[in-house]
A and B are shown apart, each in its own frame.
Chain A
Amino acid sequence: MPTTGSTRERGPMRHIPEDELHAYLDQALSRTQCVEIESHLAECPSCRGMRDGIAALRDRTTALLAKLAPPARPLPPYERLSRVAAEVATQRRRRLHLLAWAASLVVAVGLGWSASSFTRDSAARGAARAVARVSGPAEAGSATPSGLPTTPAPPAAMAQAGQSARARATDPERPGNAVRSSTSTPALAARSSRSSSAGHPTARSPQAMAAAASDSARAVREATLRVLSPTPTLELTNLDRSGRQEDLEGMWRTMPWDGTKTAAGEVPHIDGLPVVQVQVQSGDQSASAVTVVAQQLASGQVIRTIEGPATDVSQILSRHGLGEVDSAMSADGSGRLLPDGGHAMAMQVGDRMLAITGDLPSDSLRAMIRRLNAELRSK
């Protein structure tokens, strides 16, 4: 047989190199190479011995390395990773949007500047209006210089307006977080996304990122609301996360709407809106019950009306990060502005407190709570 003869001839002449045997055992060789090696092995006892030695070496290496393993832990669910990846992508898009927004602002300012060189007087008037609108009541005196109408350059006026907004944003004396958060949360969002890219996509980071993202979006909205409300008569509180029921501590009962009406008398709510949920926290007497009525607007937004003893309601509000609600408010319901533009309004009447929360413009909430209060007192 010619093939056997040739192998026999070649066999002792050319032993298989060590690295080739490694590659052979690692299954890293082509079929042709494998056939060649196998036919040589069949003929050559010394190469067979070497192969066995290398196989043993391979196994020992694998066994040794197997000891270098962290304690086995369950595989984190793939869904969690894809969620984090989606969050990261959203963050990236949002940052781009923010950039676009900033760019458009620059363009707007630039347009204002160039327009001013043509129509200086009208632009000056416009800037004066802008300053009046941007500065809230507290700063109105300081931010609107008396000499402004005679100030010839509108960009200066706009810069002043910007300064007043900035002063409010950085003033540590103001516990309000509306404007401040509009500057700080994008940084937070950026930080959290960065930290995740540095390798911390742990369980909490998606939520943290989501919270930061929604915070920053809200902060932008709130900043506008805040500066557009010049004469607030009611308390603005920061109860935007009204949907989170876990923040309502204590024993709560969810009640049918009809049952509530008969059991506890008139429950404060907005007439004409479908009631989604009624929750009652009963105290010792029926007088100290706290009720939370959730109602849905046509837009799908849920607003909540909270009524109960002032201390309880303010506790609920403060659990939402509000801090203390000033309980020394005058009994006629004319509160003072808490320096943060939240999405909640609270009003104290005697020792009871009425609050309404929802993701709505503050003036809508204010109108609602006025109407509610009027209804309650007429009864």
Chain B
Amino acid sequence: MTDDLEQLYQSTYTAVVRFLYRKVWDAERAEDLAQEVFVRALSHRPEKPRAWVFAVAANLARDEARAAMRRKRHLTLLKGDPIAQPALSPAADDSVERDEQMASVHEALNTLTPRDREILLLWDAGLSYPEIAAQTGLAVGAVGTTLARARRRLVDAHDRQHSRTGTDAAHS
């Protein structure tokens, strides 16, 4: 049993971190939460560990988002103005480019509905249709439909951004 979990840890830890990162947008926090997920798995010994791990990760990320929202609201009340996005730290060119690419995908992902986004991220994390269905309450048959829509929207939103910046560049 321990061996099963260890194997799962080796094979999915990175995917869990990535999954969490796409929800909390903080690499260290994502790692902390991922380790928490596996520590919990060790004491719970779930029957379907892979699905369980992502379900717990989704819950932790949701709690985290709620807490962040509370903090943000509180700060907004205090300051009376919206929270500024954290400034990108000046870094090497490739890292800046990487950050820009990431920001544009992030933005495109934000145009999806929460459900579509969740299903797309679960699929990308390596869950099967039945696992996604079990976690989201969707019918297995509807997973394909949702994924079809989510993929199209993500790519469309991303392409729209780029054609926009392309037009801007052409105008200037």
Contact = CB atoms under 8 A, between A and B. Distances in A.
Interface in B76-134: 98, 101-102, 105-106, 108-109, 120-121, 123-124, 128-129
Q: How large is the interface on A (under 10, 10 to 19, 20 to 34, 35 or more residues)?
A: 35 or more
B46 interface: no
B148 A19 contact: yes
A81 B121 CA distance: 25
B13 interface: yes
A162 interface: no
A81 B9 contact: yes
Nearest to B95: A71
B27 interface: yes
A199 interface: yes
A36 interface: no
Interface stretch (A83-91, A287-295, A350-358): A83-91
B115 to A, nearest CB: 15
Contacts of B108: 64
A73 interface: yes
B38 interface: yes
A73 B31 contact: yes
Interface in A95-139: none
A26 B144 CA distance: 9
Contacts of B145: 19, 22
B53 interface: no
A85 B31 CA distance: 16
Contacts of B51: none
Contact of B13 (A22, A69, A75): A75
A68 B21 contact: yes
Given A19-B145, A57-B151, A64-B154, A71 B27 contact: yes
B160 to A, nearest CB: 13
A65 interface: yes
Interface string B135-160: 00000100111011001101100100
Interface of A is mostly: helix
B42 to A, nearest CB: 4
Interface string A183-205: 00000000000001111111000
B21 A28 contact: no
A70 B9 contact: no
Interface string A42-78: 0000000000001001101110110111111101101
* From B64, B124, B148, residue with most partner A Cβ within 10 Å: B148
B39 A196 contact: yes
B105 A18 contact: no
Given A20-B144, A82-B42, A199 B33 contact: yes
Contacts of B124: 61-62, 65
A60 B153 CA distance: 12
A28 B64 CA distance: 32
Contacts of A82: 2, 42
Given A76-B13, A85-B39, 10 more contacts: A28-B128, A57-B152, A64-B105, A64-B155, A65-B22, A68-B21, A68-B22, A68-B102, A88-B43, A201-B36
8 contacts: A57-B151, A61-B124, A65-B154, A78-B10, A82-B2, A85-B39, A89-B43, A199-B36
